[in-house]
Amino acid sequence: MANWTLTTKKLVADVMSADTWLPSEMPEYAQGFMYMLGSLTASSFVVVCISGALLAMNGPDSWVYNSALRFVDATHFWSAQAFFFFMMLHLWRVFFTGAWRGGRGRTWLLGAIAFLIAIPTAFTGFLINGDLYSEWNAVQAKDGLNALGLGWVNLTNSGQMFAMHVVILPLTLSAVIALHIIRVRLKSVVPPYPEVKSSNSKVEVK
Ligand code: HEM
């Protein structure tokens, strides 16, 4: 019979181990730039969170009339662009190296869930800008969600969108990214596909 305490104990020991987080050797294939894209995504996310926390602490619209906060707002916007840019490149890398192989299916799934949560996290950010663009988006998207039976998500309610963008979605996203990275550390990075020897390899190309 499964012993939950023992299973949890082993998992916690693996996750907390120094070998998991500070490996002294790294496979050669994992040293290229393509394998840095996940870390660049995670680093951009850290900048998004710090700049976003500064904006939230000062309250809605503060970034419109305070020039220092306008800089923080621009940092928030561009780090979010970088986050999505690097995430797409990372997604291509993990797709083309078949990174779900070798028991990394859950790592893949957690990455995909993070991607899906990142979309409404960014979108709700556009809704709390308070300009005509965000109002237009809110009203159009509200009709769409109503049609889907999700009427309780009121995109024109800036308080609800503030809570979604600043608390609920970023915390959920942070948790999923943390689990994703924990699994990467536990399972390590996927080795390249084995080289395929072509049957025509002896044919001389002139
Ligand atoms: C939310 C954004 C994401 C962050 C912060 C992130 C972070 C990372 C990091 C730091 C690694 C280690 C290797 C590397 O840097 O390339 C990694 C590996 C991996 N990622 Fe992501 N990732 C994200 C999104 C995704 C998505 C969308 C997928 C696929 C649907 C995915 C699938 C994987 C898989 C399967 C691995 C493990 C195998 C390997 O690295 O070869 N990740 N991720």
Read off the pLDDT of residues 178-190 as tens digits, 9 standing for 90 and up. Answer: 999 999 999 999 9
Nearest alpha carbon, ligand 1 atom 12: 38
d(CA 93, CA 107) in angstroms, rounded, equals: 14
Q: Which atom of ligand 1 is nearest to the CA of 118?
A: 1
Number of domain units in the chain: 1
Find the CATH number of the domain harbouring 71. 1.20.810.10
Q: What is the pLDDT, as a whole number, of residue 201?
A: 57
Q: How far is CA 106 from CA 29, 180, 183, 193, in A?
A: 22, 8, 8, 19
Read off the pLDDT of residues 33-57 as tens digits, 9 standing for 90 and up: 999 999 999 999 999 999 999 999 9
Domain presence at residue 58: yes
Assigned domain for 5 exists: no
Inside any domain, residue 206: no
139 domain residue, yes or no: yes
- Across the range 87-103, mean pLDDT stands at 97
Residue-wise pLDDT for 141-190, tens only, equals 998 899 999 888 999 998 999 999 999 999 999 999 999 999 999 999 99
Q: Is the pLDDT of residue 204 over 60?
A: no
Q: How far is CA 36 from the centre of its chain?
A: 14
In a domain, 19, yes or no: no
- Does residue 16 form part of some domain? no
Tokens found for residue 179: 């689990």
Rounded Cα gap, residues 28 and 37, in angstroms: 16
Question: Given its phi and psi angles, is residue 2 left (phi above 0), alpha (psi -120 to 50 degrees) or beta?
Answer: beta
**Where in the sequence is the domain holding 47, given as residue range(s)?**
34-187
For residue 43, being part of any structural domain is answered with yes
* Cβ-Cβ contacts under 8 Å for 180 (sequence gap 6 or more): 107, 110, 111, 114
User: Above 80 in pLDDT, residue 199?
Assistant: no
Nearest alpha carbon, ligand 1 atom 7: 38
Residue 23: inside a domain, yes or no? no
**Nearest atom in ligand 1 to 104's CA:** 35
Mutational pocket test of ligand 1: of 79, 90, 181, the residue with most ligand atoms within 8 Å of the beta carbon: 90
Kindly report the backbone phi and psi dihedral angles of residue 101, in degrees, each rounded to the nearest multiple of 5, phi listed first: -70, 165
